[in-house]
Amino acid sequence: MTIHSVKGFRVAGAHGGLKPDNKPDIALITSDLPCRAAGVFTTNRIKAAPVLYDQSVLSDPSAGIRAIVANAGNANACTGEQGMTNTRLTAEHAAGRLGCRPDEVLVLSTGVIGVQLPMEAVIKGIDAAAEVLDAEAWEGANRAIMTTDTRPKMAGIINEEGYTITGIAKGAGMIAPNMATMLAIIATDADVPRAVLTDALQAAVKKSFNRIVVDGDMSTNDTVLLLANGASGVTIAEGDAQFQMAIEQVCTLLAQSIVRDGEGATRFVTIEVAGAPTTAQAEAVAQSIARSPLCKTAFYGSDPNWGRILCAAGYSGIDIQPDRLSLWLLDPDYSLSYHLVEGGRPRDYDEAAAITLMKQPEWVFRLDLGMGQEAAKVWTCDFSYEYVTINGHYRT
């Protein structure tokens, strides 16, 4: 994990009382300068109060954001008007501590759905975090938003032009395309016009957070926020490919770290679909395979059961031609390759060697549809006994 301080930003994680055992549960991310901001949110029709609040704040194109407050242990979703009131109170209290306006504060929540926020704990956590803000405390802020995560998820780059991008994320379960059960906060000290920032984030999310699957469930709280305060003095122009690539790199590293830490996961699997007429069709097939419980249990069992792969591709909704399909199992750097299927029929491959490869923690399935030149990748994991244990006892 690579992490860098970002000019003008200070962060902290603190304990307020939403988690037991004095674990950090409130994260505070602040900027000395007003930030231009962009956000991408869950597409679930049931949205948590903080999602609705942040969408409202960011609907103002002149919004200048000074802080983000994020809590773990409580999603503040399906909590009605009281939930919205509690979100506003969270922003107001943070603004009072930081000397800014409430509409300069964004709010994130993650945890159990349908429970009102214990505001005394939230306020206590904000007060504690405000006392220990530090430019280097990104890991502490990251740990404060973890729920079933087993480790922090951080990524960052220092660009040769002189600006920095740093991001943190949480997520391990309820992970599906079109935003997953995850939160991500990305900060840069580049000076980025609002439209450029928004376009860059939306494009990056399509290739990263929208291409991960743990279990196929979509949350009520998913949010990715990108803040730019301009403190580096480096201005990003429209069409800056280097900036776009840097944002995509950080988002991809964070997204992959979510899958690697998937609830109960023992395998990190890349599903690569090539030979499609369009990128969207390639992605649809890859998503279908990545979500399949039968494929994911075969991944856990180190079983090269290629019939499940083809079956999931077949019900993806794409007009596939079975006699054109070819399938390979590869190691992560593509140095080992087992050609399992050609022309829709099995090849004579070394199954024992394929099983040995699938016992490793990471590998690739590559499916060629034989119908075009476009390709897409989706990252997924296996289903283990531990996944059922974690989610069967999430509240009990």
Q: Are 84 and 52 in contact (CB under 8 A)?
A: yes
Residue 173: which of 212, 143, 130, 228 has the closest Cα?
212
The answer to whether residue 181 is catalytic is yes
Q: Where are the alpha helices (DSSP H) in the chain?
A: 49-58, 80-98, 119-131, 138-144, 194-206, 241-260, 279-291, 293-300, 306-314, 351-358, 385-392
SS3 278: coil
For residue 124 the two structure tokens come to 């206590």
Q: Are 22 and 218 in contact (CB under 8 A)?
A: no
Catalytically annotated residue among 30, 164, 181, 223: 181
CB atoms within 10 A of CB 151: 13
The whole-angstrom separation of Cα 47 and Cα 96 is 27
Q: Are 226 and 38 in contact (CB under 8 A)?
A: yes
The whole-angstrom separation of Cα 40 and Cα 200 is 11
The whole-angstrom separation of Cα 165 and Cα 188 is 4
Give the active site residues.
Answer: 181
